[in-house]
Amino acid sequence: MTLIEFISNPWPWFVSGPMIAIVMFLLLWTGENFGVSSTLRSICSMSGASKHSNYFDFDWKSQTWNIIFIFGSIIGGFLASTYIQNPEPLLINNDTINDLAALGINFNGEIIPNELFNWESLLTVKGFFIIIIGGFLVGFGARWAGGCTSGHAISGLSNLQIPSLIAVVGFFIGGLIMTFLFFPLIF
Amino acid sequence: MKYIKFLFTGILFGIIMTKSEIISWFRIQEMFRFQSFHMFGIIGSAIVTGLILVQIIKRKNMKNIYGSSICINDKKLSISRYLFGGIVFGLGWALTGACPGPMYIMLGNGYAVYVTVILSALLGTFTYGVVKDKLPH
């Protein structure tokens, strides 16, 4: 097996987890910190949102590094999916496949349900919820909580922050309510 | 040129997130249904590694590349903003199957429709900025 073949397989959790912590460390070492959702605020500020709220009235240029970081992550996503693409379809638990099938969401080995994530589905109720409402809630909630998975779950918990623990508990309360209460109503 | 290091760290982040399948909507559903250890293993081992790295930084008073101490700010204590904000975030996370990092990285994976997820997240952020004074923090 060549190195390329080796790294083309999905990476196990015990490789990915520590590597994410190393990304956090690299950002600290280069004078910054790990938190992706603050880029949403920066992009709003860049686009002139400070006219509407003082929340966006800050020196967004000091966050340029983070915009460059997410731009890099998009390139990383391209490189990984183009040059070290997983040769096999995605494998997930059969129970998940069955539970989702009962809701009418079909799994076909793709990483996302293509029938829901496409331009046409934006005009359907399900597509509108999963893409537009979902995105809105992520943006609103991340900024209200002052961070997302990277800022709270990884950076915050690594630094033993109680606020981050509360936020992560909130992430799961919200995710479970959506999955078990609202999914059967939406799908 | 001072930004090029962040480009490379970002590329590394995008590759890790793609190869570990964190960007997959189905993986997030598996997590919220407690039907796979994968995501819990990733988040858990990231936190354990992070804890060790942060302790090393603090105990050795490690300097960053500019020679100043690495300071990690404590977050201001409150319950409502983290709990309610967290719940709203979680509701959205289960729907989109993508937190902010994966939203961007999915674009690189060739799923252009995630532009609309990002735009919606920006609208959510904007709306938060406008109404934030009326919310408990």
Instruction: Give the model confidence (pLDDT) of A89-139 as tens digits.
Output: 999 999 999 999 999 999 999 999 999 999 999 999 999 999 999 999 999
A148-182 pLDDT, tens per residue?
Answer: 999 999 999 999 999 999 999 999 999 999 999 99
> Residue for token digits 């496949």?
A97
Dihedral over Cα of B54, B55, B59, B60: its sign: negative
pLDDT at A56 over 90: yes
Dihedral, CA atoms, A115, A116, A121, A125, nearest 10 degrees?
130
pLDDT at A5 over 90: no
Say if CB B22 and CB A16 are below 8 A apart.
yes
Query: Who has greater pLDDT, A74 or A5?
Result: A74
Q: Which of residues 34-63 of A touch B (CB under 8 A)?
A: 36-37, 39-41, 43-44, 49, 52-53, 55-56
Q: Which of residues 131-150 of A touch B (CB under 8 A)?
A: 131-150
Say if CB B128 and CB B72 are below 8 A apart.
no
The CA distances from residue A154 to A4, A158, B64, in Å, are 29, 6, 20
Q: How much is the pLDDT for A169?
A: 98
Least CB–CB distance from B108: residue in A31, A78, A183: A78
Q: How much is the pLDDT for A6?
A: 85
What is d(CA B102, CA B121) in angstroms, rounded to the nearest whole number? 12
Average pLDDT over residues B110-125: 97
What is d(CA B20, CA A60) in angstroms, rounded to the nearest whole number? 31
B136 to chain A: closest CA residue? A144
pLDDT at B12 over 90: yes
Query: Who has greater pLDDT, A142 or A6?
Result: A142
> Residue for token digits 């005009």?
A123
Q: How much is the pLDDT for B2?
A: 87
Helix (H) or strand (E) holding B27: helix B25-32
Average pLDDT over residues A44-54: 94
pLDDT at A1 over 80: no
A151 touches chain B (CB under 8 A): no
A162 to chain B: closest CA residue? B77
Q: How much is the pLDDT for A87?
A: 87
| CB atoms B50 and A33 under 8 Å | no
Q: How much is the pLDDT for A2?
A: 83
Q: Cβ contacts (< 8 Å) between A157 and chain B: which residues?
A: 47, 50-51
User: Could you please report the per-residue DSSP string of A135-158?
Assistant: HHHHHHHHHHTT--IIIIIIIIHH
Minimum distance, in Å, between the CA of residue A59 and any CA atom of chain B: 15
Q: How much is the pLDDT for B59?
A: 94
pLDDT at B1 over 80: no
Q: A17 by DSSP, 3-state: which? A: helix
> Whole-prediction pTM value?
0.96
Q: Which of residues 78-137 of B touch A (CB under 8 A)?
A: 78-79, 81-101, 103-111, 113-114, 116-130, 132, 135
Q: How much is the pLDDT for A101?
A: 96
B68 touches chain A (CB under 8 A): yes
Dihedral, CA atoms, A18, A22, A25, A30, nearest 10 degrees?
-170
Least CB–CB distance from A74: residue in B31, B76, B107: B107
Best of A69, A82, A115 to substitute, by most chain B Cβ atoms within 10 angstroms, is A69
